[in-house]
Structure 1
């Protein structure tokens, strides 16, 4: 037991948290070497990579802002062109409606004129045919009336002047009776 107590007393003199002097010196030298290596070799590389990333990010942000500004400008141009195209379409539509209305009015006027021409031509043709029929009828009626009067009287009424007077008087009387009947 005493041996155990001596060993315990010896162990108490050594603090487990404080390393022995030679280990402390070797640890400090190793730390300085690693620190020097990190400070001179690794840290500049890390800083360079971080700077490149920062520049890339900042450049990307600037590019994105420039692209966004360009997109905004393009959008504004597109909106202006679209508004102009809509205005032009409305103007063309209005012109087409006006031209259509003018064309319809012109076609109506042309149709009215053609109708009036056709009606006038029909009236003149009817009037000419009526006159021709009246003249033919007058001649036929006159010939028949002369023959009938000659048969009734018993002599020929071939005298042309007398025949014309009798026919004209007879037809005039018929026309007067027809007008009075209306």
Structure 2
């Protein structure tokens, strides 16, 4: 065979170019497979993708709603916390005021009791002084009467006379004591 025929035969059987009947069969098979995929598989894929998109969008919306709700709850808690702190400060202030009032009342009561004790002490001292003065007057009167009786040489047993002499003597002593002050 001649080289030209061989080249012509080679050109006719190029492996890169398929024969026409194979091209037609391949094209028909492609159309059938593509039609099958378009009719059966593509709607299912689109349906799954749409459900996934809706789930994602719903999840995002739910997350945003939950975030807003969480923010609202946080604001409520902050408001309640601020109110609780304010109430605690008010109660603390009231307790301090009540404590100060109680301390002032207790001081006033202590002062009143101290004044009563001091007044009772002064009254007791005055009563004791009066009793001592009276006892001293009697003792001094007896001694003075006995001494006067020994000096005069007669008995001054008369009680009325004795009282007058004693009173006069003690009055003179008190006047001298007051005059010397």
The verdict on a shared fold, with TM-score over 0.5 as the criterion, is: yes
| 1:20 counterpart residue number | 19
| 1:89 counterpart residue number | 88
Q: Deviations over 1:81-139 (max 9, x none)?
A: 22222222222222222222222222221111111111111111111111011101111
What are the equivalent positions in structure 2 for 1:27-42 lying under 5 Å apart?
A: 27-42=26-41
State the Cα distance separating 1:22 from its structure 2 match: 2.6
Gap runs ≥5 in structure 2: none
Note closer, same or farther for the CA distance 1:7–1:178 as it changes in structure 2 (3 Å cut). Answer: farther
| 1:172 counterpart residue number | 171
d(CA) in 1 for partners of 2:96 and 2:74? 32
Structure 1 residues 151-160 or 43-52, which shifts more? 151-160
Q: Deviations over 1:21-56 (max 9, x none)?
A: 232123223212321221122111111110110110
d(CA) in 2 for partners of 1:176 and 1:89? 72
What are the equivalent positions in structure 2 for 1:31-180 lying under 5 Å apart?
A: 31-180=30-179
State the Cα distance separating 1:168 from its structure 2 match: 1.4
Aligned length: 181
Question: Structure 2-normalised TM-score?
Answer: 0.88
Structure 1 residues 102-111 or 46-55, which shifts more? 102-111
d(CA) in 1 for partners of 2:75 and 2:57? 27
State the Cα distance separating 1:4 from its structure 2 match: 6.3
Question: Structure 1-normalised TM-score?
Answer: 0.88
Q: How large is the Cα RMSD of the aligned pairs?
A: 2.0
d(CA) in 2 for partners of 1:93 and 1:63? 44
